[in-house]
Amino acid sequence: MGVLESNSSGNLTPAASGGALPLPGYLALLLSVLMVTLVATVVAGNALVILAFVVDKTLRTQSNYFFLNLAISDFLVGAFCIPVYIPYNLTGRWMLGKGLCKVWLVMDYLLCTASVFNIVLISYDRFLSVTRAVKYRAQRHMTRKAVLKMVAVWALAFLLYGPAIIFWEAAVGYSVVPAQECYAEFYFTWYFLLCASTFEFFTPFVSVAYFNLSIYLNIHRRNKNLSAGLNEMPTPKPVKKQRDGAAWSVFFVKTRKVSCSEPTAISAVIEDDDGLTPSSCVNLDAGQILAHREKSSPGGRNSRSFQPSPAVTAPGRRAPGSRLSRDIKIAKSLAVIVCTFGICWAPYTLLMIIRAACSGTCVANYWYDITFWLLWLNSAINPFLYPLCHSSFRRAFSKILCPKRQSVQPQVVEPQSC
């Protein structure tokens, strides 16, 4: 693709060299195995997410619809885009005709862009679940808005590249793509690629980084407020009670029921395996009784002192070291999301603009191919980075993959997050 020649219109176009020389037999075999493995991983991982959503009705909440939308776009990447590209990549020649080339290009750009926009939507949804927990919880089962957002993702993803792929040749009046190659007509139009990349990568990357950083700062602030609030709580007064030679200490937590929306509420961030679940509220009802058994002493009747165990600690209270460890875990989880997105998309986006600016003469083909495959690798990582790290999806996966084990094991009720 780096060699240029003049066409009948006097414009420089890539030479019809098939894009690349035929590969040696051993290298072609190795690449075939790697590409087929990638296809299997993308299809299997995302198909499992889709199947879990269909089988388990409890997953059909607003946030999980966005996981479904991401899985659909990534599944189609593995089921259509990569398999069609494999022969072209191995032989260096497009043998499926110009019409299917247009279809493949539209689908490839559409699905990859939709995957990016879905990642932004998931990050935004998590941002709302943490910063506006009460309102979000009230609307979490209202799926109409979620469906509208999903449709908007696909519409915007198509409008970014679809019309340009379809109508660029008609608008310019000639084609720059040789008969045996398949790439977009704007392949070397750097200013168009720069504008499109702003909406496809740069803006989404900044948005994802902002949302996830805000989530971490919000959780960190809640932990500090929770620690300060619990430290200011009055120490409960023990009441001595005798029974069969053993001393029982019973104390009451006197407080009114608090609301999540009140600034004085005792809030705790309950992690859901992925460390990203929304905040939940710990409500202490007036007259709540917490019992603690005390070992009897030789002068049991005169003994009034006891040492509270962790069982009597107010719900949600954690040691400073535990809170720090949790903050670090959440920070790492969010950093992995942002860094994975950046690593998979930044190299391709930057090289694509540079390559267009220098008409393909300053970037070797293999570097472009590596960054191109990184985009599709992201579709294989997403199921493990998002739904598979969510406890509700993991339970659904266990039901699908190990139904006999689920029928034998007792069901464990996990705490629901707010």
Q: Is residue 332 part of a domain?
A: no
**Pair (59, 196) in one structural domain:** yes
**Pair (383, 275) in one structural domain:** no
Going by their DSSP bridges, the two strands 246-253 and 239-243 should be labelled as antiparallel
The answer to whether 249 and 240 have CB atoms below 8 angstroms apart is yes
Rg (CA), the chain: 29
The answer to whether 121 and 153 have CB atoms below 8 angstroms apart is yes
Rounded to the nearest 10°, the torsion over CA 270, 276, 277, 278 is 90
Dump pLDDT digits (tens) for 106-115. 999 999 999 9
> Higher pLDDT residue, 104 or 352?
104
The answer to whether 333 and 276 have CB atoms below 8 angstroms apart is yes
**Pair (246, 218) in one structural domain:** no
User: What is the average pLDDT across 370-380?
Assistant: 91
**Pair (105, 193) in one structural domain:** yes
Nearest to 31 by CA among 108, 77, 73, 87: 87
Q: Is residue 337 part of a domain?
A: no
**Pair (351, 295) in one structural domain:** no
Instruction: State the pTM of this model.
Output: 0.72
Query: What confidence tier does 267 reach under pLDDT thresholds 50, 70, 90?
Result: very low
Q: How many domains does the chain have?
A: 2
Q: Is residue 18 part of a domain?
A: yes
**Pair (119, 238) in one structural domain:** no
Residue 36 has pLDDT above 80, yes or no: yes
**pLDDT for position 46:** 94
**Pair (61, 197) in one structural domain:** yes
**What CATH number is attached to the domain comprising 170?**
1.20.1070.10
**pLDDT for position 247:** 42
Q: Is residue 339 part of a domain?
A: no
User: What is the average pLDDT across 246-273?
Assistant: 36
Domain extent for 308? 232-322
**Pair (119, 165) in one structural domain:** yes
**pLDDT for position 324:** 58
Residue 156 has pLDDT above 80, yes or no: yes
User: What is the average pLDDT across 137-150?
Assistant: 83
> Higher pLDDT residue, 4 or 103?
103
Q: In the chain, count H helices and then E strands.
A: 12, 7
Q: Give the DSSP H/E element, type plus range, for residue 13.
A: strand 12-14
Instruction: Report DSSP letters for 184-201, one per residue.
Output: -TTTT-HHHHHHHHIIII
Residue 93 has pLDDT above 50, yes or no: yes
Q: Is residue 327 part of a domain?
A: no
Across 264-268, 324-328, 361-365, the highest mean pLDDT is recorded for 361-365
**Pair (32, 160) in one structural domain:** yes
**Pair (182, 243) in one structural domain:** no
> Higher pLDDT residue, 322 or 354?
354
**Pair (361, 260) in one structural domain:** no
